[in-house]
């Protein structure tokens, strides 16, 4: 009997030992992740894209040498999109892999629910060290759920000498905020890591008020943004701004345009610092680097982007974001360097992809899909269409609630509160979305097909109007025009006041 107990004990110990060895091997094989997310960066705001566009480039003078190098060592998704084109909801979609109507964040003022399942919670449970640095952007929330360590600031922060919450402790810092965030990130990378890590780094750049650091303030001096085909094609909801709204003036080149690019140029410096640190630490061959943005940005397209700019609504300039993925490997079939993928990938795909690359199970509630298979074959079929949603925000009353279906070649945009504003575009032949085909007799069948596909996808994602979305202001509120001669850098959000 005693010998039997000894044998059983030995067997149990053996299994535990084998399990520990297997777990150790799994941990050793799991890659690190460096996920970098900017704020309001257009998909084409990179030097490499401007050069590719040749004579059609709007800002061919723009240079981003470090992002260009990263792009040349990465797979670049030319059709990366967001399911909601506004900051906090999009960031919540990156974290959870779920649509805004499910993840608890419908506006920039909403706190991120602490019980959400995210890539951070799942990677942490899978043996990863998790860290969040920089801009969080879920209202003034102090918590960073799922992250072991954080050095992050609440809400919008400021560009210079701002406060960071270091594991909850408010700490004053000095310097340009994205330089400070990069310092924290480099410090984290240099630590001794006994486990694989996921480091999420949120830049404030290039969000308003676009204040670059001193080193970048004279870059691109005197340059101008080129023309665009849809400049005089007003957003359909802008045309309706007269019923209860005061129209906003139009400008050929916003005063802030160069500041926007100067800020991006400054974070390009920091991309160089981060990549140099990975190289110095011997981490280039086992760290996946992902660079993207929370949404796009308008620069005059559809008469949008004047004054403080905008990114809301479902036109291409708001939907599309840069997406670079560097995944070095000794196997030559993994991410051929410099390859470009035309696949439709979304922000909700990030969370399942990280888990997939780490060899972990993807929770059933995640609505995105892993694009890891595209790393083997960038031309592989992936997604034919996706559903888009934006919920009205009182402080940005110009843009109504928007729903859309975007396929590889077409787009149907709906405004639930304004049925007459429906838009249908042939993106393949009209990439600037200047010809609304809704009332075109020869496109009647196309409209019916897109309407059916819209309803099908709407049901597939379980769309609903969440109770945490904002309801419009009472009818006795009116949006007040901002004066043209008011210094744009000092402007606040749109003013709302009662009629007299």
Element (H, E) at 79: strand 75-81
DSSP string covering 117-168: --HHHHHHHTT-EEEEEEE--STT----TT-SEEEEE-TT--SBS-EEEETT
DSSP state of 470: P
| Closest to 494 (Cα-Cα) out of 316, 317, 306 | 306
Segments of the chain with pLDDT less than 50: 2, 4-28, 241-248, 307-308, 332-333, 478-500
pLDDT tens profile 124-154: 999 999 999 999 999 889 999 999 999 999 8
Integer Cα distance of 271 and 67 in angstroms: 7
What was the pLDDT predicted at 130?
A: 98
| Closest to 412 (Cα-Cα) out of 437, 431, 395 | 437
What was the pLDDT predicted at 243?
A: 40
| Crossing angle of the two packed helices 177-190 and 257-280, in degrees rounded to 10 | 10
Structural domain boundaries in the chain = 29-381
Q: Give the distance, in angstroms, between the CA of residue 462 and the centroid of all CA atoms in the same chain.
A: 22
Q: Which residues pair with 345 in a beta bridge?
A: 80
What was the pLDDT predicted at 338?
A: 61
The answer to whether 41 and 64 have CB atoms below 8 angstroms apart is no
Integer Cα distance of 449 and 294 in angstroms: 30
DSSP state of 320: B
The dihedrals phi and psi of 275, each to the nearest 5 degrees, come to -65, -35
pTM of the model: 0.88
Structural domain 29-381, CATH architecture? 3-Layer(aba) Sandwich (3.40)
Ordered alpha helix ranges (H), 255-394: 257-280, 316-319, 350-357, 373-376
Helix (H, G, I), strand (E, B) or coil at 480: strand
């Amino acid at each position: 009997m005693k010998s039997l107990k000894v044998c059983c004990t030995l067997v149990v110990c053996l299994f535990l030992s084998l399990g520990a060895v297997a777990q150790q091997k799994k941990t050793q094989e799991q890659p690190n992740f460096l996920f970098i997310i900017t704020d309001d960066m257009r998909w084409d705001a990179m030097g490499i894209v401007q050069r590719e566009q040749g004579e059609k480039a709007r800002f061919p003078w723009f240079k981003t040498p470090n992002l260009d190098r990263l792009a040349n060592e990465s797979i670049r998704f030319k059709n990366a999109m967001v399911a909601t084109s506004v900051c906090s909801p999009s960031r919540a979609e990156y974290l959870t892999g779920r649509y805004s109507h499910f993840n608890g964040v419908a506006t920039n003022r909403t706190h991120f629910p602490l019980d959400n399942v995210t890539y951070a919670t799942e990677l942490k449970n899978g043996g990863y060290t998790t860290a969040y640095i920089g801009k969080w952007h879920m209202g003034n929330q102090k918590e960073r759920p799922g992250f072991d360590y954080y050095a992050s600031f609440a809400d919008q922060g400021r560009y210079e000498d701002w406060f960071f919450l270091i594991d909850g402790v408010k700490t004053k810092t000095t310097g340009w905020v994205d330089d400070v965030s990069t310092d924290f990130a480099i410090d984290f990378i240099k630590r001794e890591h006994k486990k694989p890590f996921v480091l999420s780094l949120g830049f404030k750049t290039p969000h308003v008020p676009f204040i670059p650091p001193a080193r970048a303030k004279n870059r691109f001096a005197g340059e101008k943004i080129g023309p665009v085909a849809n400049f005089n094609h007003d957003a359909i909801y802008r045309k309706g701004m007269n019923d209860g709204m005061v129209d906003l003036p139009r400008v050929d080149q916003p005063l802030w345009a160069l500041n926007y690019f100067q800020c991006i140029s400054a974070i390009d410096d920091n991309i160089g610092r981060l990549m140099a640190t990975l190289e110095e630490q011997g981490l280039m061959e086992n760290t996946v680097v992902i660079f993207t943005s929370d949404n796009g940005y308008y620069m005059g397209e559809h008469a949008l982007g004047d004054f403080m700019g905008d990114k809301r609504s479902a036109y291409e300039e708001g939907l599309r974001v840069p997406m670079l993925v560097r995944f070095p490997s000794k196997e030559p079939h993994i991410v051929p360097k410099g390859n470009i993928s035309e696949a439709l990938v979304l922000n909700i795909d990030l969370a399942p992809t990280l888990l997939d690359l780490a060899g972990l199970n993807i929770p059933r509630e995640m609505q995105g899909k892993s694009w890891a298979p595209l790393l083997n074959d960038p031309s592989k079929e992936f997604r034919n269409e996706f559903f888009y949603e934006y919920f009205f925000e009182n402080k940005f009353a110009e843009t109504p609630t928007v729903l859309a279906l975007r396929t590889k070649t077409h787009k149907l945009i709906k405004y639930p509160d304004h049925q007459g504003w429906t838009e249908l575009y042939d993106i393949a032949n009209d990439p600037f979305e200047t010809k609304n085909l809704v009332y075109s007799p020869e496109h009647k069948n196309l409209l019916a097909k897109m309407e059916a596909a819209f309803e099908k996808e709407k049901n597939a994602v379980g769309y609903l109007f969440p109770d945490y979305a904002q309801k419009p202001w009472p009818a006795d509120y009116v949006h007040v025009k901002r004066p043209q001669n008011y210094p744009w850098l000092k402007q606040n959000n749109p003013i709302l006041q009662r009629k007299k």
